[in-house]
A and B are shown apart, each in its own frame.
Chain A
Amino acid sequence: MNTRGLRSQLKDSVPVAGLCTQAGSYGVQDPLRKGFSSVKNELLPSHPLELSEKNFHLNQDKMNFSTLRNIQGLHAPLKLQMEYRATRQIQRLPFLQSSNIALDTLRGNDESIGFEDVLNDPAQSEVMGDPHMMMEYKLGLL
């Protein structure tokens, strides 16, 4: 019985296991691409929008769910979050780009267009992870 394999099948995404934040592709410091490493660079955000953009959807969801809870009671955000969790699990294999149709419909992204649809589209990314390795990582066999 492979409990390790079963547990890692519940992962939502494939995180990068880095040795240090300045690590490039081969696990050592990459000053050409990432610049000279300093503690200040790693702790403080370099752009005023960096942190707020990274957490934008999380913060918006938190705000909406807490308002909903205050207005309609606990059941409303509970049911919605259950639906979000269910749709977030509909994914292709880790190295392929998933369309996230159900998740987009729930969030309302299918009726609006923003910078996320135009800039840095992951469907047009020029790099791809190695299929076998990413599957093994996801199943915990690595």
Chain B
Amino acid sequence: MALSYILETPCPGFNFENSTRNTVLDGLLSGGKSKTPSPLKTGTTIAGVVCEGGVVLGADTRATSSEVVADKMCAKIHYIAPNIYCCGAGTAADTEKTTELLASNLSIFSLNSGRNPRVVMAAQIVQDMLFRYHGQIGANLILGGVDCAGGHLYTIGPYGDMDKVPYLAMGSGDLAAMAILEDGFKPNMELESAKKLVRDAIHSGIMSDLGSGNNVDICVITRQGVDYIRPYEESVYKDKRYRRYKYKAGTSAVLTERVIPLEVVEETVQSMDTA
């Protein structure tokens, strides 16, 4: 008796049907020489500082795919709410989708309650989401924002660990950036010196880490509003692309010229009926 008509409705959410096939195929293709494609990682330097009047977030703009720079102008500072922005390091797709889901949840909340969300609420939502998936979602996030209680900076790791700190760096260049932050941070810094400190931290990450590079983006969040400066500083190693490679007429000299006139021998017209 065929069972094709009795259908079990598929469970919404992640589908694990292909995971056995994937583990079997992993080393099987051409004797282990070809591998499954690896996801795009951001190999990043991101940093954040709580200053007087708000929060300053900074990030580099390079996205790598193994040894190749995949994106030179990648946007790593994501919008979450009008008063909350989030920098993401790790797997590019995971950080994008996690922050988008977080932004959607917070906008539903704002529409329901009529208020701007608090930063601790965003941190709690994303922590619950990442803990549920036990680290399989590779997203290291720095969540920063200003709400009624002042400026806050939270770090959330892929396994769901959360910490509230006054200054922070994450990503593959975090050691270099952290060194600059540890040296230059003072509590209640003023905005301009905080911006310079974050820029210096990202710059040292760009210089010392292979996975970070290109430009520096800065996002300044204050009670009055958000200033997303992209790019804050462009890399000095930019290449100049003209994008039009047409040569002027007369670049190559004409040696001889021969004109052959074409004679029309016969002309027939066949009309097509276009309905």
Chain A residues engaging chain B, CB cutoff 8 angstroms = 13-18, 23, 25-27, 35, 41, 45-50, 52-54, 56, 95, 97, 111-122, 125, 127-130, 133-134, 137
Contacts and interface: CB of A to CB of B under 8 A. Distances in A.
Interface residues of B, number: 32
Q: A interface, by DSSP: helix, strand, loop or mixed?
A: loop
Interface in B1-55: 1-16, 19-21, 23-24
B12 A116 contact: yes
B20 A41 contact: yes
A35 B21 contact: yes
Interface of B: 1-16, 19-21, 23-24, 101, 104-105, 108-109, 112, 129, 132-134, 136
B19 A129 contact: no
Given A47-B19, A114-B101, A129-B6, A35 B12 contact: no
A76 B108 CA distance: 28
A53 B1 CA distance: 32
A130 B8 contact: no
Given A53-B13, A119-B13, A129 B2 contact: no
Q: Which are the 7 A-B pairs with shortest beta-carbon distances?
A: A129-B7, A130-B5, A47-B19, A133-B5, A46-B20, A25-B4, A116-B12
B16 A134 contact: no
Nearest to A16: B8
Contacts of B10: 120, 122, 125
A114 B129 contact: yes
A50 B15 CA distance: 8
